Amino acid sequence: MASSPETYFGTARSRVDGPAKVTGQAKYAGEFEAPDLAHGYVVSSAIARGAISRIDTAEAEAVPGVIKVFTHENRPRTAWLDYNYQDAVAPPGSPFRALYDEKIQFSGQPVALVVAEDFETARYAASLVKLAYAAEEPETDVTRVRDLSYTPPMKRAGIKPPPEPWGDADAAFDGAPVKVRHAYRHAIEYHNPMEPHASTVVWEGDGRLTVYDKIQGVSNSQGYLTGVFGLKKDEVRVLNPYLGGGFGSGLRPQYQLFLAVMAARELERSVRVTLTRDQMFSFTHRPDVLQTVSLGAGPDGTLQALRHDAVSGTSRYEDYQEVVVNWSAILYRCENVALTYKLAHLDLPTPGDMRAPGAVTGVFALEIAMDELAYATGQDPIALRLKNYSERDQTEGKPFGSKALRACYEQGAERFGWSQRSPEPRSMRDGKELVGWGMATGVWESLMQKSSAQATLTADGKLVVGNSTGDIGTGTYTILTQIAADALGLRMEDVTTKLGDTALAEAPVAGGSWTAASSGTAVMKACRTIANQLFTMARRMDHSPLANVDFDRVVFRDGRIAVADDPSRSVSLAEAMRAGGVDKLEATESAGPDSSHQKEFSAYTHSAIFAEVKIDEELGQVRVTRVVSAVAAGRVINPKTARSQILGGVVMGIGGALEEEGMLDHRLGRVMNHNLGEYHVPVHADIHDIDVIFVDEVDKANPMGVKGLGEIGIVGTMAAVANAVFHATGKRIRELPITVDKIIG
């Protein structure tokens, strides 16, 4: 087939799920109805470490309307081996099992599930469950266990450990004319999607279950349930058409799913369990990581030594891992490099992937250190980065498939007006406010996962495509509709995309910024298979206008198959199907990464972020008044939804820089600010102008040349803001968030 004309690819389109979302018709996991639905309410542990010594449910059970109270003493039997609890993205270890035994592993651990006829009764009865504990002293402070840190013995799938060192970083650092060595740290962050985690389990009457689960990929929940409960795949269908925000919190099946399914099977009845906002702080977070970055350089800023060492908190039961330190050697060229990444056990739930996991953490430290080096050597921050620009991925010894980072620096600086910056700290003002301009680099992996997709074309010219992955707000429904419409020359209005249902072709969780490349390519392939079938039927027609024409010489456009260089010769899709005697064409195809391309090239997205802050020094109040994010991420399918991805990443990055801080009371091992009033995330008043630039980039890692955009917007943003704060105030703040006390203090 000749390249199909791209009517929709690359054009700004409003979301196809927009009308459903603005009218309240889009239903989320905790909103599906079932006859005779019972409601579960979770009771959470008051201690962080120890054991339940007594649990008394009598009073709760006596409340009219309570159906049953589940605890570790009466829970139904489930699978025994850890293996059965390991979901598709689980780190190595022994996954948490709700209500498994009396042991308490973290504060907020579910210790009972009260199931009642209605929500309020369950909630009230939950307050009557009496617990006594044998408490032990918890350890939740990573600074106190740094010396006990260890290199994880088992690697987490898909997470590259730090490469072996090269050169002699320590000796080179010692001998370097200019040295920058500091510790960096950001607070524990919580994902806090607006939709609380929820599962509605519909008991279908014969042991089969239909489950609506808040998850970023329903296949992962289905696999987990078959492992844990010994169900067959065809006995449990999992759906989640809409996800009210995930940011990684919905990658793994969370404990409300286990509890709701356990209760439904035991009671032979439909059950819904929705977590409260404070319980949203009890199962995953971006970990607290202690980092030291050491940069040794010549007087002109050329790097001679680079060390990046990190110790990350994890739970006692799983070795959560993310890529924190490798980015330093991916971004900058240096002949003496040492990178280390270790873990330390804490009495907290296992951390989890949160938007650009690892990169947010590592690049924040590196990019502040680079700003410090720029000042130490009297260089412009962009000039310093260009001086150390890496043309190869040193960690893999490979060139980049594409890297338009220079253009990001240039175009971002131009749009921001960087040349007007006076480099001296405290040298720019706006009335009584100090003004600071800072910049940083962003980087994220460009990934593709094996993914399948299906397509069905009916004689009325309507096409349905889809797979089991989720649209987590990224715009997947819309871009897949664009891709499918282009592939068969249909109007977007004639294409319906279905997602988030295990009855559809299997696809991985939506994460890692891989969905556009993975599901997009699979949908395109499925549509091309249908195109091929249509073409075969059209060519076989009596007196076919396409007779003696090869497939690679036709185009699909306006509902017709036409000869590319002679559009007057064409057959409509309906005619082709009629001639072929079919009223429906179906295809399922899968697509995966191109392994030969992967062998040869490293694949990353890049960005340059510029931030302006205005600071009232007396009040210590920082406002991020302007951000320009210039992104190189291959081709952009839909500039409208793509821009929103970057905006969202930037906003969360501003939150990380100035606001987000999980505050632990280390004596109790407990999050103190487990609500949206005290765990601050950006609100309208915090967010001002954000400008997004997509830099042209040609990449050949996948047929569409797309790289993914869900994560790159946040990486580097925290550093750009922190660097702007330094420029404004002369204060170098290396612990985030930058709150009032740090500005005034």
Partner 1 sequence: MLIESGSPVAADTRVEISLTINGEARTLQVAPWTTLLDLLRERLDLTGTKKGCDHGQCGACTVLVNGTRLNSCLALAVMKDGAEITTVEGLARMGGGNGLHPLQEAFVEHDAFQCGYCTPGQLCSAAGMLAEGHARTRDEIREAMSGNICRCGAYTNIVDAIEDVMQSGAQG
Contact footprint for partner 1 (CB under 8 A): 14-15, 17-28, 31, 33, 64-65, 116-121, 192-196, 242-247, 274, 276-277, 472-475, 640-641, 643-645, 647-652, 675-677, 681-685, 687, 689-690
- Three-state secondary structure call for residue 135: strand
Are 356 and 712 in contact by the 8 Å Cβ rule? The answer is yes
Catalytic-labelled residue, pool 506, 659, 697, 711: 711
Q: Least distance to partner 1 from the beta carbon of 683, Å? A: 4
Q: Which is nearer to partner 1, 194 or 459 (CB)?
A: 194
What is the per-residue DSSP string for 305-346?
A: EEEEEEEEEE-SSB------SHHHHHHB--SSEEEEEEEEE-
Q: Least distance to partner 1 from the beta carbon of 677, Å? A: 4
Q: Least distance to partner 1 from the beta carbon of 509, Å? A: 15
Q: Least distance to partner 1 from the beta carbon of 714, Å? A: 9
Q: Least distance to partner 1 from the beta carbon of 195, Å? A: 4
CA–CA separation, 580 and 700 (whole Å): 36
Tell me the C-alpha to C-alpha distance, in Å, between residue 629 and each of 415, 659, 685, 694, 740: 10, 20, 20, 9, 26
SS3 helix, strand, coil % of the chain, rounded to 5? 30, 30, 45
Contacts of 408 (CB under 8 A, 6+ apart): 606, 607, 608, 630, 631, 632, 693, 695
Give the closest residue to 556 by CA, choosing from 498, 495, 639. Answer: 495
- Looking at the DSSP assignment, which residues form a beta bridge with residue 590? 452
CA–CA separation, 43 and 45 (whole Å): 7
- Please indicate whether residue 711 is annotated as part of the active site: yes
Q: Which residues of 675-692 are buried (b: 16+ CB within 10 A; e: fewer)?
A: eeeebbbbeeebbeebbb
CA–CA separation, 360 and 653 (whole Å): 8
What is the per-residue DSSP string for 53-120?
A: EEEE-HHHHTSTTEEEEE-TTTPPP---SGGGG--TTPPSB----TTSSSEE-STT-EEEEEEESSHH
Q: Least distance to partner 1 from the beta carbon of 388, Å? A: 31
Q: Least distance to partner 1 from the beta carbon of 63, Å? A: 9
Q: Least distance to partner 1 from the beta carbon of 210, Å? A: 17
Structure tokens at 699: 């990449």
Q: Which is nearer to partner 1, 431 or 677 (CB)?
A: 677
Give the closest residue to 202 by CA, choosing from 235, 174, 161, 248. Answer: 235
CA–CA separation, 598 and 595 (whole Å): 5
The 8-class DSSP code of residue 278 comes to G
Catalytic residues: 711
